[in-house]
A and B are shown apart, each in its own frame.
Chain A
Amino acid sequence: MPEPAAATDTEVSTEVPEGDLVRRAREGDLTAYDELVKRYQERIYATIYHMTSNHEDANDLAQDSFIKAFSALKSFKGGSSFYTWLYRIAVNKTINFLKQRKNKYHLSLNDLDFNAENDPDLVALISHKTPQREAGLSELQKKLNEALLKLSESHRMVVVLHDVQGQSHEDIAEIMGCNIGTVRSRLFYARQQLQGYLAEYVKPL
């Protein structure tokens, strides 16, 4: 059994084409799969984290998603990109997990990075609410996550993929297995709901 190589992120993303890595991983090459994991780990983790608002759950689900993807790699026909296929596995796993957990949420939020305090858009949103900027950001982070958790799983997923991760409607439709019209309507409805939950921070419609 081949041992995973200790390659860095930069080596991985610039040198080997994705299709080649997928073909090698499908043949059981764990070194190639290790490189694929490194390439997508941050995006997969972030998607799951934004859906669960819980670091520990996101860690477990992200790992499970990569493990599941490896075991299902033989069934990957290449009809879509590996990235989309992997996303679909992670999204389905997360939605199933959230449905099983129902409405029992436990927030375990990650820290905000240094740039959050200097983001002019965010500063403008909270500056008139509180004089203490950092406290304001933490409070805003909590309220934002709580508001997101009030949405249904499918609506939350669309908001996370589009407004947080910047995916296109087409990609979201492919990942979630629905048509673009459904994505648009879900996005509109979810934003309306969020606007209501976060009325003190955003202007009314």
Chain B
Amino acid sequence: MRRLCFYILLLIVSFYCLGPYLWQFITSLKPDAELSRLPPILPDNPTFDHYVSIFRAHPFFRIISNSLIVACSTTFISLVIGSLAAFALAKLDVRRKRLILVFVLSVSMFPAIATVSPLYIIIRALGLRDTVFALIITYTSFSLPLTIWILTSFFRSIPHEIYLASRVDGCTVFQSFYRIILPLSAPGIFATAILVFIFSWNEFLFALTFTSTVASRTIPVGIALFPGLHEVPWGDIAAASVVVTIPLILLAFAFQRRIVEGLTAGSIKG
């Protein structure tokens, strides 16, 4: 009886989490005529028209590839730069270590809106408006605090003796970084990579401000500004939402353990 109750509660929680997405999926399969009718909840004549339409009638392919380029580059660059910094903070003899960590943490608390106006002016002056490059560099710096914070906590969990032993064996500082410490913290690096990727895939404020055409427009902006002739194309929006969320859902199912590790390392252990 208690068990049954427990599983019913689990079912409610799952429905709460999945319900809205499920409804978006159902909507994406409904032909336009059925969108303005309730009941029935399920489509009478399910169709893939909306999926065809977002790729045929809209430059959706371009938008997705922009997002992929931005998210992958950001993830790569922040991991390279961030892991170097985290290594120094975790294993090297750096002066004012605490001060640097507090600085990094406080940077992550800065409201993005407070930097968007000068950044816009700079980017316009440099002629980088409407390029993926503007987004990559901005995202990289905003994801660096998180990257450094999580990786420092992972690097610290590697016994210091291992680092010292590698130095005694003749590794330079840099060699012991990429030959010893990096491979040992692969799970942490992976967790960080997923978090940074999701952040860059989902970011909206800077993307909205710095992009103006499909040349650099990313998914969130593409969906927010979904063009409709007379009325809002709910079916197409639903199809687009389903498509762009699938990679994230796959990530959530495949790597839930890693993601939760990353999230908790980023907040609780610190």
Q: Do A and B bind each other?
A: no
Give chain A's interface residues, CB within 8 Å of chain B: none
Give chain B's interface residues, CB within 8 Å of chain A: none
